[in-house]
Structure 1
Amino acid sequence: MKLPSRWRARLLATVSVACLGFSATVAHASAANLDDPAKKEIAMELVSSAENSSLDWRAQFKYIEDIHDGRGYTAGIIGFCSGTHDMLELVQEYTKRKPGNILAKYLPALKKVDGSDSHKGLDPNYPKDWKTAAKDKVFQDSQESERDRVYFNPAVSQGKADGVRALGQFMYYDAIVMHGDGDDKTSFKNIRKRALGKAKPPAQGGDETAWLNAFLDARVWAMKQEEAHSDTSRVDTEQRVFLKNKNFDLNTPLKWKVYGDPYEIS
């Protein structure tokens, strides 16, 4: 006999997926990942609160300054840096999409300063030209595309592989935005490796709360290795708050603080 739809929905929401060896329910398994458009918008706002002290992440296309962290110019919606290769790749992508754009002439200089904090060949007009380029929809699309390729998609993919939900995927994303995924000891890859020494992710039979706490502990350690990143409030008064509330699906409303400033997504 076919059950009424409301009964079937209730049944599906409570049946455990025991045959797969998970304690999660079907409802848990079908919860939105961070790449769901609504969840992704939340992720962008959360990162912007920490990176730009604003929830308006789209206003950051034009942002550019040297924050004196050894990475040269930091700019755009995700903090592309002239010293860490991602800004070079962004301008290359922009030039591929729109040859002769206002930033194309800086490609030789960006190649030379890559890996350093130098502005040689960029000053004095690069910041002004960046802000002009930021009005161009092609450049905005290029920023979003490179953000996804280099940071967002790898973080979500690893989160899914580890069996963590939207909150854990966001923790990965925020970490890879700040630390990159290279081979240095504070990279996302090595933060995760450090956490594996303390706990196991759900995909390996571990408890999600224990795993995410271990990951955040490793993240805090990595942040404290650099003076420019030593303020850990984006972990302490944001991500740990969500974790303590067991908001694994990153559902709204959300309230948090970064650098002592309060934010809310209702």
Structure 2
Amino acid sequence: MKYRTWALVGLGWALVGCGEAGARGGSEEESLAPRGLAACSYTVTTNTYDGPDYWGTLVFKNTGASAMTSPTISFGVPSGVTCDYDEPGWTHTQTGTTCVYSRTSGLTVAPNASYTFYYSTNSNASWTASNVTITDPGCGGTTPEPVPGLTVNQKKVAEALTSIWENDTPTLDYAYSENIDDGRGYTNGRAGFCTGTGDAIQVVQCYVNLRSAGNGNLLAKYMPGLTTINNRFLSTGQSQASTAELDVVGNWVADWAASYNNTTTRADFKACQDQVSDALYYAPAMAEARKWGLATALSRMALYDAYINHGESGAKSMIRAANTAVGNSGQVAPVVGYNGITETAWLQKFLEKRRDVLAADSTWIDAIDRVAAYEKLRRLGNWDLSSAVRNDVRARDCWSTQYPISGYTVRNINPDGTWSTPGTYTFACQ
């Protein structure tokens, strides 16, 4: 059961990502005006930590149109590991398992250029840095606060739960591609990137930067058609349903799937989907959570899912509505702690506002049970996601209205992100 997503943030192109048109509700705040750059466009080509040498290496390529002038690098390390060395020109801070390195002097990384960053820690075990994020004033990003978003395992749980709503399985479906006739062209991959809304083109451009057509990139040949569609989208501000420019070139659906299913190209293709998804949904959601003082993994996970489902504009509209509902009509940030407002009270109102947005649309009311899962976790108090997450709940179990049943398969997601399908369960909201 594939559920559509949409977004209103950009990474090199302005976009109105895939999906849920009805969830916008036509409000002024949720207009379809294209937005500009929201984060750096880059590809991490090397990510290693050599335990015996206490030495980490990150190599990233600037795939954007503008030069980076003073990049900030943020990444996660295993629990108990401390970042302990600054290369010349760099300084770092650490909060929990997140290390943030900032420049003490200017550094230019030109478009299409790569930069090698070295760091050290107190760990003699080998591992890979997680959640690598690069921001820079030159590409519209902002320096991240030294505050973690979700831990590695919490993010696995969050993405597995969202994947149930997107593909009815906790396993991220990188190979998925289909025209679901929603007026946005082909819907693709782990986050529903669409050919007619400016986000699928970002995945393909990232992939082209890593791998040429001569080196097995089956999607490179579609870039001219994607660009034509994207230019039409940008000039009109309207999602583009036509796939004619792609269909004349080849079998888009088959080539998208093959790009992931081929073990030779899989790593590059997966990395690009992960990078674009993080830039469009995860990083903005975590920044918004920090702004409003949402400190728990559950609140951040709920906001992350809302960004994927409703896009930046839709998520922010619901945040404003929740703020007003808890007595913060002036939109004072942070909201948690303001006039005694608690995080659980705020999350309750946010989920209710999101429920109402979905319920107001005749098509997308069928996806309303996805909101109930977060409400159940709130009532259970599973704030740090340390207990297993199970979507054995429907909106009608949490609220008195007899909402339609979405029909998602019930799954059990463990705190480390592994999952199973339970043999028995009872629908309930607590």
TM-score normalized with structure 1 length: 0.79
Change (3 A) 1:127 1:203: farther
2:223 is aligned with 1:107: yes
Kindly indicate whether the alpha-carbon contact (under 8 Å) linking 1:33 and 1:39 is maintained by their aligned counterparts in 2. Answer: no
Q: Unpaired segments of 5 or more residues in structure 1?
A: 1-28
Distance 2:312 2:227 in 1: 20
The residue number in structure 1 matching 2:298 is 167
Flag the structure with more relative contact order, 1 or 2, with Cα contacts below 8 A and sequence separation at least 6: 2
Which of 233, 246, 251 is the aligned partner of 1:125?
251
Q: CA deviation at 1:36?
A: 0.9
Letter of the structure 2 residue corresponding to residue 141 of structure 1: A
Of 157-166 and 195-204, deviating more is 195-204
The residue number in structure 2 matching 1:192 is 319
Kindly indicate whether the alpha-carbon contact (under 8 Å) linking 2:150 and 2:300 is maintained by their aligned counterparts in 1. Answer: no
The residue number in structure 1 matching 2:23 is none
2:383 is aligned with 1:248: yes
Structure richer in helix, relative to its length: 1
Give CA-to-partner distance per residue, 1:56-87, whole Å, 9 cap, x none: 12xx1100112222322111111111122111
Which of 144, 149, 155 is the aligned partner of 2:274?
144
Letter of the structure 2 residue corresponding to residue 202 of structure 1: V
Which of 46, 62, 84 is the aligned partner of 2:197?
84
The RMSD of aligned alpha carbons is 2.3
Q: CA deviation at 1:140?
A: 0.7
Give CA-to-partner distance per residue, 1:78-120, whole Å, 9 cap, x none: 1111122111111111112223321122122223334212212
Q: CA deviation at 1:141?
A: 0.5
Three-state SS of the structure 1 residue aligned to 2:391 is strand
Distance 2:187 2:162 in 1: 15
Of 97-106 and 210-219, deviating more is 97-106
Q: CA deviation at 1:203?
A: 5.3
Q: CA deviation at 1:34?
A: 4.7
TM-score normalized with structure 2 length: 0.50
Structure richer in strand, relative to its length: 2
Kindly indicate whether the alpha-carbon contact (under 8 Å) linking 1:46 and 1:55 is maintained by their aligned counterparts in 2. Answer: yes
Change (3 A) 1:220 1:111: farther
The residue number in structure 2 matching 1:235 is 371
Three-state SS of the structure 2 residue aligned to 1:202 is coil
Letter of the structure 1 residue corresponding to residue 181 of structure 2: H
Q: CA deviation at 1:30?
A: 7.0
Which of 151, 157, 164 is the aligned partner of 1:42?
157
Q: Percent identity?
A: 31
Give CA-to-partner distance per residue, 1:116-139, whole Å, 9 cap, x none: 122121225111111111132111
Kindly indicate whether the alpha-carbon contact (under 8 Å) linking 1:45 and 1:56 is maintained by their aligned counterparts in 2. Answer: yes
Letter of the structure 2 residue corresponding to residue 191 of structure 1: M
Q: Unpaired segments of 5 or more residues in structure 2?
A: 1-94, 98-146, 231-238, 329-334, 395-405, 415-430
Letter of the structure 1 residue corresponding to residue 229 of structure 2: V
Q: CA deviation at 1:146?
A: 0.8
Give CA-to-partner distance per residue, 1:192-222, whole Å, 9 cap, x none: 1222221253154521111111111221232
The residue number in structure 2 matching 1:21 is none
Distance 2:318 2:286 in 1: 16
The residue number in structure 1 matching 2:178 is 65
Three-state SS of the structure 2 residue aligned to 1:153 is helix
